[in-house]
Structure 1
Amino acid sequence: MRRLIKGWLLGVLITGLFANIVMADEIRPAFLSLLEQTNHQYQVNFKVPLHNGTRLSLQAQFPAHCAAISAPSVQQDELISNQRWQIQCQHSLAGQSLQIKSLNNTRTDVLLRVEFADGSLDMQRFTPAQTQLQIAKPDSRLSIAASYTHMGIEHILIGWDHLLFVLCLVFIAGSLKRIILTITGFTLAHSVTLLATSLNWVQVPIAPVEAVIALSILFLACELLRADKTSLTWRYPALVSSTFGLIHGFGFAAVLTEIGLPQNGFATALLFFNLGVELGQLIFIGSLLLLAWIVRQFCTIKRQDLLHTTAYTVGTVSAFWLVERTVSFF
C-alpha cells in the first residue's frame, strides 16, 4: 500500500511539473496555405485557432505588390476559424517575405505552406520569436519529400498523446524484439487509416477520435498499473498496438487534412509524412532506451516503482485529456 501511495504521489507531482503537457492541445497551431494559380494569383487559406471561443488576432501581411481580389469567406467551428480569399501579385512570391502580425503576443505557431504552379513546395513555421519568413522555391519532388518528412517527425515529437501511448507500449513490450514487433504493428495499423482517410475512402469526425486516443492511453496506463502478465495486453502487445493504431491513424490524418497535400506529388507527400512519423517514433524510442541504460548505470530504481510512477503520471494526464475532449462534444 505504501508503494502504491508513493507511486501515486510521485505521479501527481510529475504531472504538476509538466502541466504544459496536460494543456498541450489548448492552443493549436495556425495554418497559412498559399496555392499559386495563373499570373501570380494565389489562393489563400488561413486557419486560425480559437481560444476560449475567440479567434486569435493573427493577420497575414503580404508584400506591397500583392493585393486582395476577393473578400475573405469565413467558416468557423468550435476549434478553428478558416478564412479563404485570393490575392494578385505583380510577380512571384518566391524570395519574398511574409509576416504574421500579433503572433508575438500569442503562444502558438503558424505553419506556412506555399505550393507553386510547377508543383514545388515550401513549408516553414512562424513562431512568436520569428514572425517574418522569406519564401523559398526549392526543387519540386525533393522539397515535397523533405518538407513532409520534417513535418512527420515534428508532429510525432510534439504530439504528447502519441508519445505517451508509445511510452506505455515500450514498458509493456519489455524486450527489444517485442518492442520492434509492437511498434511495427502500431505503424502498419495507423498507416492503413492514414492512407484511407487521405484518399477519402473513410471519413471520421476528429473530436471523437481524439477522445478515443486519450482513452487508449488511459487503458494502457491501467494495464501498466495492474501489471498482469497473463492479460491479453501483456501477452500480445502487438495486437493491442495494432488495434489502437487504427484510431491513432485518424489523428495523423487530421494533421495532414489541416496542412493539406500538394496537387502535384500527392503520393510523395503522403509517403514521406508517414516516413517522418516513423522516424520520429524511432528517435523517441531510441532516446527512451538510452535514458534507461544511463539510469541503470547510475541509479538503482526498482522496476515496479518505475511502472507505478509512469502509470499514475500517464493515467492522470490521459484522464484529463479524456474528460476535456469528451466535454468538447457538447
Structure 2
Amino acid sequence: MMRYAAAEQAHSGFATWRRIGLILVLGWIALSLLQPFAAAHPEDEFCTPGGGLDPELCRALSDLDRAPGAGSTAEIAQPTQFTGTPSVDMDRSVLSTFTTYISIGVRHILPGGYDHILFVLAIFLASPRMNPLVIQISCFTVAHTITLALAAAGVITPQASVVEPLIAATIAFAAFENILFGRMTRLRPFIVFAFGLIHGMGFAGFFGELGLPEGQFWSALIGFNIGVEIGQLAVVGLAFAASLYFRGTLKQASRMDLYRPLIVIPASLVIGVTGLIWTFQRLYG
C-alpha cells in the first residue's frame, strides 16, 4: 500500500513538472515571436482597420511620417508641443477626448507594450505577497506619471536613443534581481520608482507623437495615463491568476517549495535575457 502511494505521488510530481515545463517552453516561444516587434511603432498598428484610433489622429500621424526630414521614434522622443508636430483639431467634447485616450493608453500596453509588460511581470515575480506588490506598483505608477506629465508638457525633452535602451536595461535589472535575492530588498521600491521615471519618458515619447485636440491637453493626458494603468493592472491580474494555478498545482503535489525554483527563477531568467537582448539591439541595432 505504501509502495503504491509512493508511486502515485511520484507520478503526480512528474505530471506537475511536465505541465510547468510545457508552459515555460510555450512562454519562451511567445517571447521569441514577440522580440522582433520590440522596436515597432504601436501607434501605427492602431491605424489599421479596427485598430481603434481616431481617423483624425491617424491622419495627423500620416502627415508626420510624410513630413520632410521626419525621423523614426527611435531617433528622438519629443513633447507634444515640439515644432513640426501636426496638431489634431477635432470638434469633440472633453469627455469624448478623455475616453478616447483611455482606450489609446490601454492599447499602448495591451497588446503592443512588450517592454512595459515584461517590467510589470518582473515586479510581480519579486514577491509572492500582495503588500510588496502593491508598494512596487504604486511606486512605478507615481514615478511614470510624473515624467509623463513633465515630458508631455514640454518641461523635459527625453531622447529616445537614450530612453529606449534604458527601459530595456531596467527590465533586465529587475528580473535578475529576482534571481539573486530570495525576497524583495528594502531598496526595491526606490529602484522601481527610479525605473518608473524612465518608463514614463517612454510613455511620453508615444504620447507626444499622437498630436492632441486643441485645448484638451489635460483630458487627453489624464485619460491616457488611466488607460496605461488599466493595461498594467490587467497584466498583474493575469499574472496573479496564473500564479494561483501554479500554486494550486504545486500544493496538490505537496511541493510548494518548488514555486521559486520552477516559476520565479526561470520566468525571471527569460525576462532578464530578453531585456539584455533588447538593450543591445536598441544601442547598436
Please tell me the TM-score bracket, short chain as reference: 0.7 to 0.9
Q: Which among 136, 144, 148 is matched to residue 182 of structure 1? A: 136
Q: Which among 148, 163, 171 is matched to residue 125 of structure 2? A: 171
Q: Which among 28, 33, 38 is matched to residue 25 of structure 1? A: 38
Say what the alpha-carbon RMSD is for the aligned residues: 3.1
> Partners in 1 of 2:221 and 2:73 — Cα distance?
25
TM normalised by structure 1 equals 0.64
Q: Which among 234, 243, 266 is matched to residue 185 of structure 2? A: 234
Equivalent residue for 2:215?
264
1:310 partnered with 2:261: no
> Partners in 1 of 2:149 and 2:73 — Cα distance?
25
1:46 partnered with 2:62: yes
Deviates more, 1:22-31 or 1:217-226: 22-31
Equivalent residue for 1:212?
166
1:282 partnered with 2:233: yes
> Partners in 2 of 1:322 and 1:47 — Cα distance?
30
Query: What pairs with 1:98-177 in structure 2 (closer than 5 Å)?
Result: 115-116=89-90, 118=91, 120=92, 140-157=93-110, 158-177=112-131
Alpha-carbon shift at residue 11 of structure 1 (Å): 6.8
Sequence identity percentage? 28
Give, as a single letter, the amino acid of the residue that structure 2 aligns with 1:316.
V
In structure 2, the CA distance between the partners of 1:15 and 1:48, relative to structure 1 (3 Å rule), is: farther
Give, as a single letter, the amino acid of the residue that structure 2 aligns with 1:74.
P
In structure 2, the CA distance between the partners of 1:48 and 1:24, relative to structure 1 (3 Å rule), is: farther
Deviates more, 1:191-200 or 1:151-160: 151-160
> Partners in 1 of 2:63 and 2:276 — Cα distance?
29
Higher helix share: 2
Equivalent residue for 2:71?
77
Equivalent residue for 1:252?
203
CA deviation profile, 1:142-171 (whole Å, cap 9, x unmatched): 211111001111112221111111111111
> Partners in 1 of 2:217 and 2:233 — Cα distance?
25
Alpha-carbon shift at residue 297 of structure 1 (Å): 2.3
> Partners in 1 of 2:176 and 2:106 — Cα distance?
28
Alpha-carbon shift at residue 323 of structure 1 (Å): 0.7
CA deviation profile, 1:31-54 (whole Å, cap 9, x unmatched): 878769xxxxxx8551687xxxxx
Give, as a single letter, the amino acid of the residue that structure 2 aligns with 1:298.
T
TM normalised by structure 2 equals 0.74
1:196 partnered with 2:196: no
Equivalent residue for 2:10?
none
Give, as a single letter, the amino acid of the residue that structure 1 aligns with 2:230.
L
Equivalent residue for 2:175?
221
> Partners in 1 of 2:237 and 2:24 — Cα distance?
23
Task: Figure out how many residues of one structure are paired with residues of the other and give that number.
Answer: 239
> Partners in 2 of 1:14 and 1:286 — Cα distance?
17
Give, as a single letter, the amino acid of the residue that structure 1 aligns with 2:135.
L
Query: Secondary structure of 1:23's match?
Result: helix
In structure 2, the CA distance between the partners of 1:47 and 1:24, relative to structure 1 (3 Å rule), is: farther
> Partners in 1 of 2:73 and 2:194 — Cα distance?
28
Give, as a single letter, the amino acid of the residue that structure 2 aligns with 1:244.
F
Give, as a single letter, the amino acid of the residue that structure 2 aligns with 1:156.
I
Cα pair 1:11 1:312 within 8 Å, conserved: no
Q: Structure 1: which 5+ runs fail to align?
A: 1-6, 37-42, 50-71, 82-112, 121-139
> Partners in 2 of 1:250 and 1:317 — Cα distance?
21
Alpha-carbon shift at residue 298 of structure 1 (Å): 3.2
Equivalent residue for 1:15?
28
Alpha-carbon shift at residue 77 of structure 1 (Å): 2.6
Equivalent residue for 1:297?
248
Give, as a single letter, the amino acid of the residue that structure 2 aligns with 1:263.
E
Cα pair 1:165 1:216 within 8 Å, conserved: yes
In structure 2, the CA distance between the partners of 1:192 and 1:296, relative to structure 1 (3 Å rule), is: same
Equivalent residue for 1:97?
none
Give, as a single letter, the amino acid of the residue that structure 1 aligns with 2:32.
A
Equivalent residue for 2:5?
none
Cα pair 1:152 1:273 within 8 Å, conserved: yes
In structure 2, the CA distance between the partners of 1:268 and 1:306, relative to structure 1 (3 Å rule), is: same
> Partners in 1 of 2:273 and 2:25 — Cα distance?
7
